[in-house]
Amino acid sequence: MPSFAEARVDLDAISGNVSLLAERAAGALVMGVVKADGYGHGMLPAARAALAGGATWLGTAFISEALHLRAAGIDAPVLAWLVPPGEPLTEAIDAGIDIGVGSVWLVDEVLDAARQARRPARVQLKADTGLNRGGIGPVEWPDAVAALARAEAEGLVTVTGVFSHFACADDPGHPATSAQLEAFHRALDVVDKAGLRPEVRHIANSAAVLTRPDARFDLVRPGIAAYGLSPIPGLAVPGLRPAMTLSAILVGCKRALAGSGVSYGYRYVTERATNLALVPLGYGDGVPRAATNRGPVFVAGRRRTIAGTVCMDQFVVDIGEDTVSPGDRAILFGPGDHGEPTAQDWADALDTISYEIVTRIGQRVPRTYTGAVR
C-alpha cells in the first residue's frame, strides 16, 4: 500500500534477532513476546517471524491478544499473563492458551472456568519475587500453590509453568536481580514440594537473557531484543538489528525569513533565513509531543532536530541551505545504517526507553513488511 508515511518492518531482522537470542539462551526455550501489537511492529507478522527464528512459545499480556494469535491459525503454545476480572477464561481454555495466574482471586475463577469448559485449564503460576507489580507474593504463595496442586490432582488444571519477572535487570549488577533469583528458587521449592512438575520455569526478559546466564531456567522471554533494540541503554549487542524504520514523505519545503517563529507557540525561532521542511507525522501517529525541539530526524542526507512544536499530524525541520523535493523522505528512526537515528537515539533525546518509541507508533501509520516470513 503506497502511503506518505510507513513503519517498515524487517521480519528477517526479527527472525535473526530471535535466533541470536536462542543461541544466548544456550538450550533454554525461547518465548517471543508479542504483546502490544508486537511492540508496535504488528503482532501476527512478528509472531510468525519469531517462530521462524526459533521461538517455540509466544507471550502476550492479555487473553484477547492470545486469542487473536489463535484466530490467525497460530497454534504454538501461548502464555497470556495479565488477566483483569472479566476476561474470557473459558474461551482461553478452549483455545489452549496458558493462563498466567498472578492474583489469588484468579485461582478460583480459573477453576470455575475449567469446570465450565469441561477440560483442564493450562495454568502458569506467577510468583512476585520482588517487582511488586503482578504475581502472587511469598505470603500467599504456599496456599495458591497448594490450591493448584489439588486442582491438578482433580484434573481441573495442568500447571504447565511457574514464572516471575525482574524489576531491575536493565541495570546490570543491581542487587535486586540476584535477590529476585533467590526468591524465585524459594518459590520453585514450594512448587516442587507440593508435587507439581511444571514443564517450564522462567524469569528472564531480554536484559537477563543477555546478562544473566543464571536466570535462564527452562525458557527465556525476550521482547525488546527480538525487535533489535538493546534492553540496556549503552549496551551494544553485536548482531541485533532494529526491525522498524519509521519514515514519511515530505509535504514540502519553504523559505523562511530570519526571526520566524515556527509551529504552535513559536517554540523555535529561525536564527537566519532558512529552508523549512514539513513532515506529515505527529503525536496522532505516536511521535511524542515531547520531541518538540528534541527529536532527531534524517532529512536531506543529514541528521537534524525537530524545529518547534510537534503537532497532531505534522512537524517542521529546519534544513538550513539544503533543499528537498516533494517526495523525498524523512527518516525518523531505523537501524542506523545510513546515518539515520535509531529508536534508542529517540529514547535518549526524550528521556524515555526505546520500547515506548516503537510501541506507540499509531495505527494511522501503515506497517509494511519485508523479509521471507509474512
Ligand X SMILES: Cc1ncc(COP(=O)(O)O)c(C=O)c1O
Assess 165 for contact with ligand X (CB under 6 A): yes
- Site track 321-360 with ligand X (rule: CB under 6 A), x = hit: ----------------------------------------
Residues touching ligand X: how many (CB under 6 A)?
Answer: 12
Candidates 17, 94, 6; CA nearest to 42 is 6
The distance of closest approach from Cβ of residue 368 to ligand X in the complex, given in angstroms and rounded to an integer, is 23
Q: Which triple of cell numbers denotes residue 79?
A: 502464555
Task: Give whole-number Cα distances, 205 to 11, 166, 232, in Å.
Answer: 21, 7, 11
Site for ligand X in 79-138 (CB under 6 A): 81
Assess 180 for contact with ligand X (CB under 6 A): no
**Pairing of the two strands 261-262 and 78-80:** unpaired
At residue 95, what is the residue type?
A: A
Active-site residue identified among 193, 254, 264, 266: 264
Between 29 and 33, whose beta carbon lies closer to ligand X?
Answer: 33
Between 93 and 225, whose beta carbon lies closer to ligand X?
Answer: 225
Burial of 171 (0-12, 13-18, 19+ CB in 10 A): middle
Region from 63-71, 215-223, 238-246, 366-374 binding ligand X, contact rule CB under 6 A? 215-223
* Residue nearest ligand X, Cβ-based: 223
The Cα 135–Cα 137 span in angstroms is: 6
Strand partners, 303: 298
The Cα 5–Cα 343 span in angstroms is: 17
Candidates 333, 255, 317; CA nearest to 280 is 317
Active site residue 266: no
Between 130 and 223, whose beta carbon lies closer to ligand X?
Answer: 223
Site for ligand X in 220-249 (CB under 6 A): 221-225, 231
Between 202 and 304, whose beta carbon lies closer to ligand X?
Answer: 202
Site for ligand X in 29-88 (CB under 6 A): 33, 81
Assess 205 for contact with ligand X (CB under 6 A): yes
DSSP-assigned letters across all residues of 220-259: E--SGGGGT--SSTT---TT----EEEEEE--EEEEE-TT
Place of cell 535509531: 342
Residue 31 marked as a ligand binder: no
Run of H or E including 160: strand 157-163
Residue 312 marked as a ligand binder: yes
Region from 45-53, 175-183, 216-224, 364-372 binding ligand X, contact rule CB under 6 A? 216-224
Assess 24 for contact with ligand X (CB under 6 A): no
Active-site residue identified among 35, 227, 283, 355: 35
Q: Which triple of cell numbers denotes residue 13?
A: 531482522
Strand partners, 89: none
Within 8 A by CB and 6+ apart from 195, the residues are 149
Region from 218-226, 242-250, 286-294, 314-322 binding ligand X, contact rule CB under 6 A? 218-226
Residues in contact with ligand X by CB under 6 A are 33, 81, 165, 205-207, 221-225, 231
Which residues are known binding-site members for substrate? 133, 312
Residue numbers annotated as active site: 35, 264
